[in-house]
Amino acid sequence: MRRSSFDFNLMRALEVFAAIVETRNITKAAQMLGITQSAASQHLGSLERAFATKLIDRYARPIELTKSGVVLHGKTGLILSEVEDLRSKMRRVESAPVPYLRVGMLASIATTLMPVVTEFAKRQAIPEVACFAGLASDHTDLLRNRRADMVVTSDALYDTSGLERFHIMSEAFLLITPRGFTGPKDDLAELAQQLPLARFSDSTPVGRRIDQHLRRLRLDLVRVMQADRASMVTAAVHAGHAFAIMSPTLLLDAVQEGMKLEISPLPVVGFRREITVVSRARELGDLPERMAVSIAERLQQTIGDLGALCAEASDFGEAGPMDKSEAIL
C-alpha cells in the first residue's frame, strides 16, 4: 500500500514553517519553538517533500519564500487558527451544557441587545457566543443552515416547521418627522406634499409591510428615496429631507446616535408588528424562553426612555411560548 505524502506531523511542520517565515532564519525559528535546528530542518523538508516543491530559498540572506512558499504561508495562519479554534471548542463540549451559542438579531436592535446576549451567556455559563445582525428575511436561512441557534426577529416564520417561538413584544407604527417640522401631521397625503416618505426598501420585510398598509388605505405616495436600514431612514428624517413610518424598536439606534426627531401617532388606521425569539424545537431546552424574557426586560426599559408615546405603542405582555412545534427542522 502506498504511504500518504502527509505521513508526518503536519500541524507541527506548519508551525515550524510559520516561525521560519516570521524570523527569516531556521536557527532562530528553532530557538523560538524550543527545538533543535536539525528538527526544524526536518519539518521543513517534510513539507517540501509532501508538496513536491521548494518553499524557501536557502541561499538568500535572509531567507526568502519561493512562489509556492508564498501560497502556503497565505494559508498556514488560517489552518493553524482553525485547528486551535477546533481544539478549544472540543475541550469545552463536555464541560458546558451549551458550549457555543449563535444568535441572529434584527439589525435595528442588535446594538441594544448585544449586552443582553453576552450577559445572558455569562449567567448560563456558555463559554462562547456569536451574534449576527441582519434583516428578518435572513433569519430563515440562518436557522435552516444551522448558522444560528436562535433568532430575534419580526417574522415568526410560521411557514417553517420544526421551530418554537417565544413572544417578546408587539409594537405599533408611528409617524416620524424632523425636529421642529411645522407642516401637517394629521394627513399623510398633505404631509407628503411637503416632505417625501423615506421608505424601507422593497427587499425588507418592514418595507413590504408598510407599503402593504399604505395600499390598503389607498395612499399612493410618490417614491423618492428608500433604504434597507433603519438608521439610514432616520438619517434622512434627521436631515429634514423626509418623514418616515417606523415602530419604536426601529428608532433605538437613531436616538442613541443623537438624531433629532419628532414622534407622533399615525393619522390613519394603525398597524403593528411582533418581535419574537425563534429557535429549532427541543434543541436548547428552556434557553430560548429565558432569552426572550431577558430581551423583553431590556427593550421595555430602553423603549421607555424614548418617551411616553413609544412606551404606549409597545405591548410586552408576558414573554413566553407562542406555540410548540412537534416537528424537527
DSSP 128-152: EEEEEEE-GGGHHHHHHTTS-SEEE
Q: For 174-270, which CATH class?
A: alpha beta
Q: Could you tell me the pTM of the whole model?
A: 0.70
CATH topology of domain 100-167+275-290+317-323: D-Maltodextrin-Binding Protein; domain 2 (3.40.190)
- Fold identical between 10-93 and 100-167+275-290+317-323? no
Per-residue pLDDT of the chain (329 residues; tens, 9 = 90+): 344 456 668 888 999 999 998 898 899 989 988 899 999 999 999 999 988 999 988 788 888 899 998 999 888 888 888 887 777 666 555 555 677 889 999 999 999 999 999 999 999 888 889 999 988 888 888 888 888 999 999 988 888 888 999 999 999 999 999 999 999 999 999 999 999 999 999 889 999 999 999 999 999 888 889 999 999 999 999 999 999 999 999 999 888 888 999 999 999 999 999 999 999 888 888 999 999 999 999 999 999 999 999 999 999 986 556 654 433 33
CA atoms within 13 A on the CB side of 74: 6
CA distances from 137 to 69, 157, 202, 203 (A): 43, 9, 12, 9
Q: Give me the pLDDT at residue 295, please.
A: 96
Where in the chain are the domains?
Answer: 10-93, 100-167+275-290+317-323, 174-270
Listed in order, strand segments (DSSP E) in the chain are: 56-57, 64-65, 100-106, 128-134, 150-153, 163-172, 174-178, 197-200, 223-227, 244-246, 261-264, 272-280, 314-315, 320-323
CATH code of the domain occupying 10-93: 1.10.10.10
pLDDT value of position 6? 60
Contact (Cβ atoms closer than 8 angstroms) between residue 151 and residue 103: yes
Give the pLDDT score at 106. 94
CA distance 308 to 310: 6
What is the three-class DSSP state of 67? Answer: helix
Closest CA to 273 of 173, 160, 204, 140: 173
Compute how many other C-beta atoms are within 10 angstroms of the C-beta atom of residue 148: 24
